[in-house]
Every structure is written in C-alpha cells, then in structure tokens.
Amino acid sequence: MKAATVIQLRKELETLNEDYLRELCLRLARFKIENKELLTYLLFESEDEAFYVEAIKEEVDQLFKEINTNSYFYIKKSVRKILRSLKKYARYSNSKETEVELLLYYCYKLKTLKPSIGNSVTLTNIFLKQIENIEKKIIKLHEDLQFDFRERLKELQNQY
C-alpha cells in the first residue's frame, strides 16, 4: 500500500466530522508509541515548552547515570541511544530553539561523562558532529537567541 501525500491527507481530513477525527487520532495512538508520545506532547505539554525541556533534561540525566561505563563500546551504544531519543523529542516540539537547547545539554552531559570521551575517537566524533549540528541550527534562530546560544557553545567548546 502506498501512503498518500500530506496534501491529500489534509484535504481528506477537512471533509471529516469531529467525532470521526477523534476516533482516527485514538486509533493512531494505539499503533505506535511515537504517535502516542506526539499526541501527549501536543495535548498536554506544548503550552509550556520550558517545562517540556526540563522534563527531557531530567530524563537525559537519568539515562546518562544508567550508562554502563565498563567499556567504550557500551558507552557508545548508550550515547547514541540517548541522542536518538533526544532528537525524537525535539522533533515533537518542532522548535529550533528547543532542539538547540537539548543538543547543547546533551553535549554538556557527554563532555562531563566519566571516563572521558577524549579517550575514544568514536565518542569524540559524536561530540564534534553534534557541535557542528548545533552551529548549523543556531544560524536559523533570532539574532538574540543566536548570541546566547553561541556564548554557551563557546563555553562548552572551551572546556573541551
């Protein structure tokens, strides 16, 4: 089965009544955890973006505490898993500012990880790639935000 385009879906959704739309949303939520998470964000957390960011930061803190530090192999796997979930949460928000904030926090946590990521080429490359992504995303923000985020980015890079 070939999926319809977003334009086709939008036109079809405009013709449906409210009760049927509600049923469709609930049915979507039953099939994939990402759909349920997105619906949760849109209904309950989208009004307070700062609270949403703080909740994600707390989750990231917990995930970093749970990393198996016996081997750089396990650290690398865990760090990549955390990054995937972080990017998923940023995608729900659809805000560049939130994405930059979360990536900066991720890089900070990666930087302060013990044992040091400097001893692993792979982890260092993950860190540098995220710094590069942050720089690309900062350009798309408002000038005041650009300045604030660049300052935080410089501070993070100076620690490295």
Q: Where are the domains of the chain?
A: 48-159
The two three-digit tokens of residue 98, written as one number: 């939130």
Percent of the chain residues topping a pLDDT of 90: 77
The residues, ordered by sequence, that sit 6+ positions from 104 with a Cβ below 8 Å of its Cβ are 134, 149, 152, 153, 156
Residue 159 has pLDDT above 90, yes or no: no
Percentage above 70 pLDDT, the chain: 99
The two structure tokens encoding residue 117: 């990521």
> Which pLDDT value is given to residue 4?
86
Question: For the residues 82-90, what does the mean pLDDT come to?
Answer: 96
Q: Average the pLDDT over 26-33 and give the result.
A: 90
> What is the reported pLDDT for 151?
93
- Residue 160: pLDDT band (50, 70, 90) is low
Q: How confident is the model at residue 2 (pLDDT cuts 50, 70, 90)?
A: confident
User: What pLDDT was estimated at residue 48?
Assistant: 93
Segment 111-116 mean pLDDT: 91
Distances (CA, A) of 87 to 8, 43, 60: 27, 20, 12
Residues 14, 10: Cα–Cα separation, whole Å: 6
**What's the pLDDT tens digit per position in 53-81?**
999 999 999 999 999 999 999 999 999 99
CB 129 within 8 A of CB 81: no
